[in-house]
A and B are shown apart, each in its own frame.
Chain A
């Protein structure tokens, strides 16, 4: 009789191989590489915006600084995509991951292999998060190098004033990227929970995106007052605090705790749900 070990079932490596050759993975990476290139072309060849860089009072503009250097360009790439594109990509990687196995009919064979159900979920979750993180890093790195080629190597200029050294700029970019990765945890968690709750991959991704957009709309309603502190959108922009003369951690610390806590709870519910589920797919 051959030896079986639960620890050897469905390794992260095998799951990565199973996922990376999918077309949607390639499309996601192509998108985040294309985005900075399109923006550069638009800035270089599009109609120039009028009167930038003048001495107007009260001029505070993160987009105006987009072309000041690779760090600024990478940050503006994050600004363009963090609210929507990255959320959708995170929802796609995490929402599709379990539901697509169910719809292909592969999940039942993996679970009979048997891949223990918790292991199955955690490997799926890990690979989904890894792919999301990879897309984020590719976006930042592509933005940086496209910016470097297009605008030279000027260090980060803050929209709040001040410029930073190259080393400090890199630290700031890393902090911003890291924080955005953290803010993607809640959409990722929602998508993952949706993914174990349905056998329709598009339904899981769509449900996660709809929930996040709905929360964003609620967040825009000022009349909700402090209730908005419980919505994810309340924390998505806190990374701007890393653009000042010093990094202000307060909001980011709260956002970190919020995102990690909500994510962990969502994943916990997903695990409890999946372990008790009758696999009918």
Chain B
């Protein structure tokens, strides 16, 4: 880039600056990193076929190497392409990233074994081997790279499992994943239950269907699944209950089998909007890791996303993962092993900000039961509810698989038939409540015949307006053996993060149906009652995210701006150059010296005017249209600022608002009145606004105006002549020392003109001065004692009328005027349009 001399001047400077900017763009680190597609030999293809699978991978290398590495594992149904954004973020942060497509997906060979240790975990171990062989990856021992592993959902389970099986893993970030596949797919919220859970039919089918895809028209029973998993899924989907073999299979593919072996820093994310792997799963992972190895740093994040959609926090989660690896793989700033929970604040009005997320933090993870518990009393009689035959119609709590469209749920009528639902309601809360974790409630369930009851328990918030909200659409499924004797059922409700307002009620609903789950087909009637009226609600002492400035700073900022503007206004008061007072002129009503006015870059409306008005005269400012009379008069009133020169009234310099202006009665370019008020009110209010305290002589002035009873009509109704006379009357209010009248006789008829002439003549007795402008020679000749002739912005002649006529015996003033201004301006006798300047 060349440096040019003289940059910053005019057009050349602009072009130079632009060139500078354009020159900079390629230098900015958009993406210096390189991405290479490779294939990695994974673990054995199957139990019988020991040839390794081929994994399709992308290796992202940052510009500075060797660097620590991160393995990115994708979600179920995805591929290495699904994690490009996160890989880009990490490589820009200086990590080598290995993103590979898991076996059974995309271009990788093999079949899906749901993160089985023999297959998927073995594959990931090979990926670590591969990373150890790369020169760009930092090594901490033989065949031992500095490596972290991260993923969400399917990839999250792989991350945790890999950390348990391969000691070379140095840090883990696992999001919205399972601890135990069985308890994820078979929901059981009864504490201490012996029965298997309720099959999460809809979610399981949605989840597995992405592994069952095959080309159209070539359907295949097992799709991409391994025979073992195909058989297990088929069996579960058919019967709704797992066999011992399936349970063992699921357990081997669950982090629960190895959480006691995880000793590396682990970032565990869980989604509040997740009915597939609810917060109970992330809680189990956290608790098991901490129980086995209390010194392991574990940070738990209950964010607002999840398999059901929720509020978008992907940016924050990507940043969290990045800083986690920076802290534990590189030498980035420490990240505390604490607890973060997102509180989704809904606004009453603004759709745009309805998903505002406030991040709450607590120094330690309290688990589902919170730091403290509060008991809320519930009330409600025992209720008999029907489990309908075939399980339909069913309540809708969540819509698995439609992701962010889950918000549509609020548009659906999610009420079930009332006889399928029991409700236990609290009193309106006296104080606001923040629920963070899983509440508990104890029920008693009885059935006329002994059987397994399937129930769905929900914690809802009934607002003052009567709306019934089910946070995140989560319900607690319960399978319990019941009979005629009431059976106590302690239910752990879904874990939520929610604010409950004072005045709201908490409602426990017990439903017999939920369309997301598999329900028994035979009908039944249950009696549901409260075993204990206490709803135990978890609370956690958390601090809100301090976003931006503290509250008190804002009014201070406003005050600061105010002070700044006041100061600026004070400093930028218009300055007057030259003398403010001239004692030598104190006796002269009006002295004009070297007055020039130029509007914009145009011609000079006034091009050097000097004259002095003595006391007690009636002075006529005479000139043709455009001579600069009005502009001169406006400058004499402080309405227009002179370009050069000055005006003195009784020795005081005229500036805008100069107090000496109070000694002038003005009439310029026609009258101006409030049209909605009467003439009298106008004069009264004008006097009160003028800041003068003497006698206004209102009656005398009104007599001069001569409006008679019309003075009490609205000015809107006046004729031009009436307004004109009222305007001159207004100028005379308080009988000021000087009257400055611009074309006062415009619009008056001859008798009124004659009258006005007398009034002005009388006014100038007692030492008062009248200055009037006119383009009518006759008027000036008959009214004035003195005259100033103006032409083209300059003074052509001054003197008494007598002086101007002296030596021109027999000539009228008109002839003199013609001599003075030349014949190029014929003076009109008729009325001129207002406003010559």
Contact = CB atoms under 8 A, between A and B. Distances in A.
A5 B689 CA distance: 11
Nearest to A21: B676
Contact of A114 (B500, B658, B677): B658
B557 A55 contact: no
B657 A115 contact: yes
Interface in A64-123: 64-65, 68, 79, 104-117, 119
A70 to B, nearest CB: 16
Interface in A233-281: 237, 240-241, 243-246, 249-250, 253-254, 256-257, 260-261, 264-265, 267-268, 271-272, 275-276, 278-280
B574 interface: yes
A280 B641 CA distance: 11
A161 interface: yes
Interface string A20-49: 011100000000000000000000000000
A113 to B, nearest CB: 4
A17 B470 CA distance: 57
Given A18-B677, A105-B669, A112 B639 contact: yes
Contacts of A257: 554-555, 557-558
B734 interface: yes
A110 B733 CA distance: 13
Interface residues of A, number: 82
A112 to B, nearest CB: 4
Nearest to B667: A109
A235 B548 CA distance: 16
Given A3-B694, A56-B413, A22 B676 contact: yes
B827 to A, nearest CB: 25
Interface stretch (A131-139, A143-151, A152-160, A200-208): A152-160
Interface string B621-640: 00000000000001001111
A55 B413 CA distance: 9
B392 interface: no
Contacts of B428: 163
Given A106-B672, A237-B349, A257-B554, A6 B691 contact: yes
Contacts of A159: 348-349, 463, 465
B572 interface: yes
B415 A55 contact: yes
A57 B414 contact: yes
Given A4-B692, A116-B657, A260-B562, A275 B574 contact: yes
A160 B691 contact: no
A241 B358 CA distance: 14
A260 B561 contact: yes
A111 B463 contact: no
Nearest to A23: B676
A245 B677 CA distance: 51
B672 A272 contact: no
A118 to B, nearest CB: 8
A184 B347 CA distance: 21
A216 interface: no
Interface stretch (B105-113, B501-509, B810-818): B501-509
Contacts of A55: 415, 462, 466-468
B483 to A, nearest CB: 32
Contact of B465 (A65, A237, A264): A65
A115 B689 contact: yes
A111 B737 contact: no
A59 B410 contact: yes
Contact of B346 (A53, A60, A246): A60
**Residue of B348, B414, B657 with highest tally of chain A CB at under 10 A:** B348
A224 interface: no
A217 interface: no
A119 B637 CA distance: 17
A113 B638 contact: no
Given A246-B432, A265-B565, A267-B565, A161 B465 contact: yes
B568 interface: yes
A272 B568 CA distance: 9
A113 B689 contact: yes
Interface in B521-556: 547-548, 551, 554-555
The 5 closest A-B pairs by CB, nearest first: A2-B694, A105-B672, A58-B410, A162-B501, A161-B463
Given A58-B410, A61-B467, A159-B349, 5 more contacts: A61-B465, A106-B674, A114-B691, A265-B561, A279-B639
Interface of A: 1-11, 14-15, 17-18, 21-23, 53-62, 64-65, 68, 79, 104-117, 119, 157-164, 222, 237, 240-241, 243-246, 249-250, 253-254, 256-257, 260-261, 264-265, 267-268, 271-272, 275-276, 278-280
18 contacts: A2-B692, A11-B688, A11-B689, A23-B676, A55-B467, A57-B410, A58-B411, A60-B467, A64-B465, A108-B672, A117-B657, A161-B500, A240-B349, A253-B555, A254-B554, A272-B569, A275-B656, A278-B639
